[in-house]
Copies of this chain bind each other. A is one copy, B any other.
Amino acid sequence: MDIATRVYNHRWKMDPIVRSLIDTDFYKLLMCQLVFTNHPQTQVTFSLINRATHIPLAHLIDEGELREQLDHVRALSLSRGESTFLRGNTFYGKRQMFRPDFMEWFENFRLPPYHLERVGDQYELTFEGTWCEAMLWEIPALAVLMELRSRAVLGRMKRFELQVLYARAMTRVWEKIEQLQGLDALRIADFGTRRRHSYLWQDWCVQAMMEGLGTGFAGTSNCLIAMRREVEAIGTNAHELPMVYAALAKTDAELAHSPYQVLADWQAEHSGNLRIILPDTFGTEGFLRRAPDWLSDWTGIRIDSGDPATGAEIAIRWWQDRGQDPREKLVIFSDGLDVDKIQDLHARFVGRVKISFGWGTLLTNDFRNLAPDDGLAPFSLVCKAVSANGRATVKLSDNPHKAMGPKDEIARYKRVFDVGPQVAQDVVV
């Protein structure tokens, strides 16, 4: 290495984890534009939730370092090249996906303040602001916490231990990719930004998928990596839309209608492969049963909780009931996937529907059993919209372990959305 580079690098007071505002999931930007248009004044609070309470984040991660990283994220703004990419690139076959008014806003955007407090072994970390401001904290906050935890564990390892750790992790990812190579007409995307081991590791995984899967690799949800590696940016919409819309509802009738209002707003903006239904926020079965007919014209559905095969069968029956041909429809699996599950789902549904996979944590953070005391195993950390204009949000999902919100509100939602008994599934990651 040349001397100047070395000296320059050593002048950094820290090694920033998130170095770009578009080091985030692409669908956040799609949703942000929708929110910018339809709910510019709504105040939303996002909050970090560590479902893995056995992982004492506040023990592992120094508060000062965490603040430094979060402060660094707050100092970021969209670079000229990033702006050009968002304005000029074709996303999902569409030019100018992002409207000029939204881009102008985004070019001047800075993330709002955060509130950080140590409570016992955990951190309380919340973000308040208008919805389109606060929502952009979700992914960088998760990435910062995940990577600081990785660094805390890695910091105790010796040089060759580290080399071999990554050698093992690379071998593991590659063997998964080799296992996927045999699957006919595979379409799989990286959805692993939020729980990645680190930025560089996610970037490695994406490149390995590019080489190993060729056209079977559909792209990455990470907007920055999509730009740098010149692959498709992938993603549609998430639970936060129906959760916030529902929280804003003033009556039970408005509440019952809110998930469809989300999709009506979405449809006004997006077509084609972006018209993907995410049906499970308040229970998939009831959602589909009560759905307006126009929704069955949409391109596909994303299965993100509950037993995925069951979810897909429900969708297939629903399309058939509505006179649609399931073979023309797209099913995207995105919940807790790993290669065996991908193989099973592929074998079961290939030829019956179009299928695609959004592979997350077990792509970009499968460090299970690779570090002492399994210290690098991924864990279930989320950052969710917990209130909107002062009203608590609720999520039911198709897995009661993933439900969130105040108890009485959960009961009300279950009644309004007519959710019957649900099967609990372990939340692995």
Contacts of A161 in B (CB 8 A): 211
Known A160-B208, A161-B211, A211-B158; judge A171-B168 contact (CB<8 A): yes
A163 on interface, CB distance cutoff 8 Å: yes
CA distance A180 to B275 in the complex (A): 57
Nearest B-chain residue to A207, judged by Cβ: B160
Contacts of A170 in B (CB 8 A): 163-164, 167
User: Is the beta-carbon distance between B5 and A160 smaller than 8 angstroms?
Assistant: no
Indicate with 1 or 0, residue by residue over A162-203, a CB within 8 angstroms of chain B CB atoms.
Answer: 011011101100100000000000000000000000000000
CA distance A161 to B171 in the complex (A): 10
Indicate with 1 or 0, residue by residue over A1-37, a CB within 8 angstroms of chain B CB atoms.
Answer: 1101100000000000000000000000000000000
User: Is the beta-carbon distance between A211 and B159 smaller than 8 angstroms?
Assistant: yes
Contacts of A167 in B (CB 8 A): 166-168, 170-171, 174
A326 on interface, CB distance cutoff 8 Å: no
A400 on interface, CB distance cutoff 8 Å: no
| Protomer copies | 2
Indicate with 1 or 0, residue by residue over A78-116, a CB within 8 angstroms of chain B CB atoms.
Answer: 000000000000000000000000000000000000000
A212 on interface, CB distance cutoff 8 Å: yes
Indicate with 1 or 0, residue by residue over A147-166, a CB within 8 angstroms of chain B CB atoms.
Answer: 00000000000111101101
Contacts of A4 in B (CB 8 A): 2
User: Is the beta-carbon distance between B211 and A160 smaller than 8 angstroms?
Assistant: yes
Closest Cβ of chain B to A205, distance in Å, is 10
Contacts of A164 in B (CB 8 A): 170-171, 174, 208
Known A2-B2, A161-B211, A212-B160; judge A171-B171 contact (CB<8 A): yes
Closest Cβ of chain B to A230, distance in Å, is 15
Closest Cβ of chain B to A159, distance in Å, is 6
Nearest B-chain residue to A168, judged by Cβ: B171
Nearest B-chain residue to A158, judged by Cβ: B211
CA distance A354 to B93 in the complex (A): 72
CA distance A158 to B171 in the complex (A): 15
Contacts of A2 in B (CB 8 A): 1-2, 4-5
Give the most central of A160, A166, A208, A212: most B CB within 10 Å.
Answer: A160
Contacts of A207 in B (CB 8 A): 159-160
CA distance A116 to B2 in the complex (A): 41
24 contacts between A and B (CB under 8 A): A1-B2, A2-B2, A2-B4, A2-B5, A159-B207, A159-B211, A160-B174, A160-B207, A160-B208, A160-B212, A161-B211, A163-B170, A163-B208, A164-B170, A164-B171, A164-B208, A166-B167, A167-B167, A167-B168, A167-B170, A167-B171, A167-B174, A168-B171, A171-B171
Q: A164-B171, A167-B170, A171-B171 are in contact. List 5 more A-B contacts (CB 8 A).
A: A158-B211, A160-B174, A160-B207, A167-B167, A168-B171
Closest 8 CB pairs of A and B: A167-B167, A2-B2, A167-B170, A164-B174, A160-B211, A160-B208, A167-B171, A168-B171
